[in-house]
A = this chain, B = another copy of it.
Amino acid sequence: MRIQYIFKPISIYGDIDMELRHLRFLTAIADHGTFTRAAEALHMAQPPLSQQVKRLEDDLGVRIFDRSGRGAALTSAGDVLVERARAILSLAKEFETLARALGAGDQGHLRVGMAGGVSLLPLIPAAISAFRREKPGVTVTLEESNTPALCASLRLGQVDMAIVRPPFSMPISSCAP
Protein backbone atom coordinates (compact mmCIF):
# COMPACT_ATOMS: atom_id res chain seq x y z
CA MET A 1 0.00 0.00 0.00
CA ARG A 2 1.54 3.22 -1.22
CA ILE A 3 0.22 6.66 -0.40
CA GLN A 4 1.15 9.90 -2.09
CA TYR A 5 0.37 13.32 -0.73
CA ILE A 6 0.48 16.51 -2.68
CA PHE A 7 0.16 19.72 -0.72
CA LYS A 8 -1.65 22.41 -2.58
CA PRO A 9 -0.44 25.94 -1.93
CA ILE A 10 -3.03 28.27 -0.45
CA SER A 11 -3.23 31.95 -1.31
CA ILE A 12 -1.20 34.11 1.05
CA TYR A 13 -3.17 37.14 -0.04
CA GLY A 14 -6.63 37.88 1.22
CA ASP A 15 -9.48 37.44 -1.22
CA ILE A 16 -9.39 39.96 -3.99
CA ASP A 17 -12.37 41.66 -5.56
CA MET A 18 -12.55 40.44 -9.11
CA GLU A 19 -12.81 43.36 -11.47
CA LEU A 20 -13.42 43.77 -15.17
CA ARG A 21 -9.69 44.35 -15.54
CA HIS A 22 -9.02 40.73 -14.68
CA LEU A 23 -11.50 39.56 -17.28
CA ARG A 24 -9.84 41.78 -19.86
CA PHE A 25 -6.55 40.13 -18.99
CA LEU A 26 -7.97 36.66 -19.48
CA THR A 27 -9.50 37.39 -22.86
CA ALA A 28 -6.38 39.15 -24.08
CA ILE A 29 -4.20 36.16 -23.21
CA ALA A 30 -6.69 33.77 -24.76
CA ASP A 31 -6.75 35.91 -27.90
CA HIS A 32 -3.01 36.32 -28.30
CA GLY A 33 -1.81 32.96 -27.11
CA THR A 34 1.04 34.24 -24.95
CA PHE A 35 1.30 36.46 -21.91
CA THR A 36 3.94 38.54 -23.65
CA ARG A 37 1.86 39.50 -26.66
CA ALA A 38 -1.24 40.00 -24.54
CA ALA A 39 0.70 42.40 -22.36
CA GLU A 40 1.71 44.40 -25.41
CA ALA A 41 -1.90 44.59 -26.54
CA LEU A 42 -2.91 45.74 -23.06
CA HIS A 43 -0.19 48.41 -23.06
CA MET A 44 1.50 47.03 -20.01
CA ALA A 45 4.56 45.02 -19.08
CA GLN A 46 4.31 41.25 -18.94
CA PRO A 47 5.28 40.54 -15.31
CA PRO A 48 2.37 42.47 -13.77
CA LEU A 49 0.05 40.64 -16.13
CA SER A 50 1.41 37.32 -14.88
CA GLN A 51 1.01 38.50 -11.29
CA GLN A 52 -2.60 39.51 -11.70
CA VAL A 53 -3.60 36.33 -13.49
CA LYS A 54 -1.80 34.15 -11.01
CA ARG A 55 -3.44 35.93 -8.15
CA LEU A 56 -6.87 35.56 -9.71
CA GLU A 57 -6.28 31.86 -10.33
CA ASP A 58 -5.10 31.37 -6.76
CA ASP A 59 -8.06 33.24 -5.38
CA LEU A 60 -10.63 31.38 -7.43
CA GLY A 61 -8.79 28.11 -6.91
CA VAL A 62 -8.81 27.26 -10.59
CA ARG A 63 -6.07 27.05 -13.18
CA ILE A 64 -7.11 28.92 -16.31
CA PHE A 65 -3.99 28.66 -18.46
CA ASP A 66 -1.46 25.94 -19.08
CA ARG A 67 1.91 27.65 -19.27
CA SER A 68 4.59 26.11 -21.39
CA GLY A 69 7.78 27.14 -23.06
CA ARG A 70 5.87 28.37 -26.07
CA GLY A 71 2.93 30.22 -24.66
CA ALA A 72 -0.24 29.86 -22.65
CA ALA A 73 -3.08 27.54 -23.66
CA LEU A 74 -6.53 27.48 -22.12
CA THR A 75 -7.32 24.65 -19.74
CA SER A 76 -10.72 23.04 -20.06
CA ALA A 77 -11.93 25.19 -17.16
CA GLY A 78 -10.31 28.24 -18.71
CA ASP A 79 -12.12 27.62 -21.93
CA VAL A 80 -15.49 27.87 -20.21
CA LEU A 81 -14.48 30.84 -18.09
CA VAL A 82 -13.05 32.93 -20.91
CA GLU A 83 -16.28 32.47 -22.80
CA ARG A 84 -18.18 33.84 -19.81
CA ALA A 85 -15.67 36.63 -19.43
CA ARG A 86 -16.31 37.74 -22.99
CA ALA A 87 -20.05 37.86 -22.34
CA ILE A 88 -19.57 40.00 -19.24
CA LEU A 89 -17.17 42.37 -20.98
CA SER A 90 -19.60 42.68 -23.83
CA LEU A 91 -22.37 43.70 -21.44
CA ALA A 92 -20.06 46.16 -19.75
CA LYS A 93 -19.26 47.72 -23.11
CA GLU A 94 -22.95 47.98 -23.86
CA PHE A 95 -23.46 49.63 -20.50
CA GLU A 96 -20.96 52.34 -21.31
CA THR A 97 -22.37 52.90 -24.76
CA LEU A 98 -25.90 53.12 -23.42
CA ALA A 99 -24.83 55.49 -20.66
CA ARG A 100 -23.15 57.85 -23.11
CA ALA A 101 -26.19 57.75 -25.36
CA LEU A 102 -28.50 58.53 -22.46
CA GLY A 103 -26.19 61.33 -21.44
CA ALA A 104 -26.10 62.75 -24.94
CA GLY A 105 -29.84 63.22 -24.73
CA ASP A 106 -29.26 65.49 -21.79
CA GLN A 107 -26.89 67.80 -23.53
CA GLY A 108 -26.77 69.76 -26.70
CA HIS A 109 -28.33 72.94 -27.95
CA LEU A 110 -31.99 73.82 -27.80
CA ARG A 111 -33.05 76.85 -29.81
CA VAL A 112 -36.35 78.30 -28.70
CA GLY A 113 -38.20 81.00 -30.57
CA MET A 114 -40.76 83.02 -28.65
CA ALA A 115 -43.46 85.30 -29.94
CA GLY A 116 -43.35 88.85 -28.56
CA GLY A 117 -44.90 89.19 -25.14
CA VAL A 118 -44.87 85.51 -24.47
CA SER A 119 -42.08 85.98 -21.92
CA LEU A 120 -44.52 87.99 -19.86
CA LEU A 121 -46.68 84.96 -19.22
CA PRO A 122 -45.75 83.44 -15.89
CA LEU A 123 -45.67 79.87 -17.14
CA ILE A 124 -43.04 80.26 -19.85
CA PRO A 125 -40.03 81.53 -17.85
CA ALA A 126 -40.87 79.02 -15.12
CA ALA A 127 -40.86 76.19 -17.64
CA ILE A 128 -37.54 77.30 -19.05
CA SER A 129 -35.99 77.59 -15.61
CA ALA A 130 -37.23 74.14 -14.68
CA PHE A 131 -35.87 72.69 -17.88
CA ARG A 132 -32.48 74.27 -17.35
CA ARG A 133 -32.36 72.93 -13.83
CA GLU A 134 -33.23 69.43 -15.00
CA LYS A 135 -30.90 69.36 -18.00
CA PRO A 136 -27.92 71.52 -17.02
CA GLY A 137 -25.98 70.22 -19.99
CA VAL A 138 -28.30 71.74 -22.55
CA THR A 139 -27.49 75.16 -23.91
CA VAL A 140 -30.75 77.05 -24.31
CA THR A 141 -30.99 79.86 -26.83
CA LEU A 142 -33.96 82.18 -26.61
CA GLU A 143 -34.99 84.32 -29.56
CA GLU A 144 -37.85 86.76 -29.61
CA SER A 145 -39.66 87.50 -32.84
CA ASN A 146 -43.18 87.58 -34.28
CA THR A 147 -45.35 84.59 -34.96
CA PRO A 148 -45.08 84.39 -38.78
CA ALA A 149 -41.28 84.79 -38.71
CA LEU A 150 -40.99 82.12 -36.06
CA CYS A 151 -43.02 79.72 -38.13
CA ALA A 152 -40.62 80.33 -41.00
CA SER A 153 -37.59 79.80 -38.76
CA LEU A 154 -39.05 76.60 -37.44
CA ARG A 155 -39.65 75.37 -40.96
CA LEU A 156 -36.08 76.20 -41.93
CA GLY A 157 -34.67 74.44 -38.89
CA GLN A 158 -33.26 77.67 -37.51
CA VAL A 159 -35.01 77.05 -34.22
CA ASP A 160 -35.91 73.73 -32.57
CA MET A 161 -39.17 74.91 -31.08
CA ALA A 162 -41.29 78.01 -31.17
CA ILE A 163 -43.76 79.36 -28.65
CA VAL A 164 -46.33 81.34 -30.61
CA ARG A 165 -49.86 82.60 -30.30
CA PRO A 166 -52.83 81.94 -32.50
CA PRO A 167 -53.60 82.61 -35.17
CA PHE A 168 -50.73 80.88 -36.89
CA SER A 169 -50.81 79.00 -40.17
CA MET A 170 -48.60 75.96 -40.05
CA PRO A 171 -49.57 72.32 -40.37
CA ILE A 172 -48.45 70.06 -37.54
CA SER A 173 -46.77 67.83 -40.08
CA SER A 174 -44.14 70.44 -40.87
CA CYS A 175 -42.56 70.32 -37.45
CA ALA A 176 -38.80 70.27 -37.42
CA PRO A 177 -37.27 66.81 -36.73
Interface bits A135-147 vs B (CB < 8 Å: 1, else 0): 0111111111100
Q: Given contacts A60-B96, A88-B92, A102-B77, are A139 and B4 in contact (CB under 8 A)?
A: yes
User: Across the interface, do B4 and A140 meet the contact criterion of CB distance under 8 Å?
Assistant: yes
Cα–Cα distance between A4 and B128 once the two chains are bound (Å):
11
Stretch with Cβ within 8 A of B (4 or more), from A14-22, A33-41, A160-168, A169-177: A14-22
Q: Are A88 and B95 in contact (CB under 8 A)?
A: yes
CA distance A139 to B99 in the complex (A): 49
Interface set, chain A 98-133, CB cutoff 8 A to B: 98-100, 102-107, 132
Number of copies: 2
- Give the CA-CA distance A12 to B77 in the complex, in Å: 42
CA of A132 to CA of B8, assembled, Å? 12
- B20 near A18: Cβ-Cβ < 8 Å: yes
Number of chain A interface residues as a range: 35 or more
Let me know if A102 and B88 touch, CB within 8 A. no
**Apart from the given pairs A6-B136, A61-B100, 5 other A-B contacts in the complex at a CB distance below 8 Å:** A18-B20, A62-B102, A62-B103, A62-B106, A85-B95
Q: List 27 A-B contacts (CB under 8 A).
A: A1-B145, A2-B143, A2-B144, A3-B142, A4-B140, A4-B142, A6-B137, A6-B140, A8-B107, A8-B137, A18-B20, A18-B95, A19-B19, A19-B20, A60-B99, A61-B99, A61-B104, A61-B137, A63-B103, A77-B102, A77-B103, A80-B98, A80-B102, A81-B95, A84-B94, A84-B95, A88-B95
